Amino acid sequence: MDSTLPTTRRQYLAITGVGLSAAAAGCASTGSDGATPKSKSSVTTDEPSDDRGITETGTEGDENETATDEDEPETVDDLPLFDAHTHVIPTEARGRDPLFAEQLVEWMDTNGVDRAVVLAFDAPEAYPVRAPSEWVLDEVDSYPDRLVPFCTVDPRDVDETDAADRLEHYIGRGARGFGELKMEMDIDDDRLELLYELCATYELPILFHTDRQMLRDEVGLPRLENVLASYPEVDFVAHAHGWWSHMSADVEALDLGRIPEGPIEAPGRVWELLAEYDNIYGDISTLGGWNALTRDEAYGQTFLERHHDQLVFGTDYLFPGHQIPHFALFEQFDLELDAWANIRHRNIETLLR
């Protein structure tokens, strides 16, 4: 790991311009006047949102030079928390209210989340409403220290030149990854090759959703393995039931679209692919990810110990009031702080550069 990265929550927050009090859990019992601590902190920050910039700033920061034992993280809650999977949604969908960046940041404050990746939905089947990349970039623009936008391109809408032009445009506006890749196709569909190649060219990590409808695969994930082997220079972040059902070796076809319950009989393909490929990461968001860790706690513990360098914390926060069980995982499992640091922020930070 890069030793210039901030190692404590205190250093991290100082560097990202987030006040400790603002990021502490429960602090955002915000008044109703709309003047949240968050918008203040982003307005007063003079650093652009760029992890490279943050890292460089970190090496010069007072906090690093004056670091004492007091700054060492003592508990898992002292570590920075980076949510690798959130959304903003422009209109009502499925009877749920829209979610704007301001509300997302308020929720982050309440739950001690320092930064978050914000994903786009450009394909019409990904969600009942689209969250177009251009709109996501507009939304997160006021929170450069807190929110990291990803973008997507629907390969059915564009030819190769168009796709490259759009990605360059989004990258120019601050996009740092590709996602959420979620379409009704096989994960190794020919039409996705163009995207995989462009993400290799532009060094964008890809966060994808796989289940029985979206980016489909077979039991055993042979199509995903084919993609991982074909694009070793692209980092893939796996999300949803198709992936997490393979926590256990006993998977049937229906499990790719649901949350399997009960104890794990033996480690499944998720363990094998993480061990064999260094370009695949697991995003523990949604009930699928949470269930994979908690359905059999002994296996969950072993899994976290073995694969913490390829797991990223994520929630898939999607609408105001969305209940998220993942914060309890930090109490439920017992890991070295270094392993928690990988899951909570280091791995996703590494993927973003």
Cβ at position 85, least distance to Zn ion in Å: 6
**Closer residue to Zn ion in complex, CB, 202/319:** 319
Cβ at position 258, least distance to Zn ion in Å: 17
Q: Pick from 174, 316, 344, 350: which binds Zn ion (CB under 5 A)?
A: 316
Q: Are 163 and 123 in contact (CB under 8 A)?
A: no
Burial environment of residue 160 by CB neighbours within 10 A (0 to 12, 13 to 18, 19 or more): exposed
User: By CB under 5 A, what part of segment 173-212 binds Zn ion?
Assistant: 180
- Round to whole Å and give the CA distance between 202 and 325: 34
Cβ at position 117, least distance to Zn ion in Å: 10
User: Nearest residue to Zn ion, using CB?
Assistant: 316
CA angle 339, 344, 347 (to 5 degrees): 75
Cβ at position 299, least distance to Zn ion in Å: 25
**Closer residue to Zn ion in complex, CB, 180/217:** 180
Cβ at position 87, least distance to Zn ion in Å: 6
Of the CA atoms within 13 Å of residue 36, those in its CB half-sphere come to 23
- 122 near Zn ion (CB under 5 A): no
Pairing, β 147-149 against β 280-283? unpaired
Residue with tokens 């996703």: 348
Q: Are 317 and 86 in contact (CB under 8 A)?
A: yes
Binding mask 317-346 for Zn ion (x = CB under 5 A): ------------------------------
Q: Which stretch binds Zn ion (CB under 5 A): 130-138, 172-180, 196-204, 330-338?
A: 172-180
Q: 167 is written with which tokens?
A: 């990605």
CA–centroid distance for 75 within its chain: 22
User: By CB under 5 A, what part of segment 89-118 binds Zn ion?
Assistant: none
Burial environment of residue 69 by CB neighbours within 10 A (0 to 12, 13 to 18, 19 or more): exposed
Cβ at position 284, least distance to Zn ion in Å: 12
Binding mask 126-145 for Zn ion (x = CB under 5 A): --------------------
Q: Which residues bind Zn ion (CB under 5 A)?
A: 180, 316
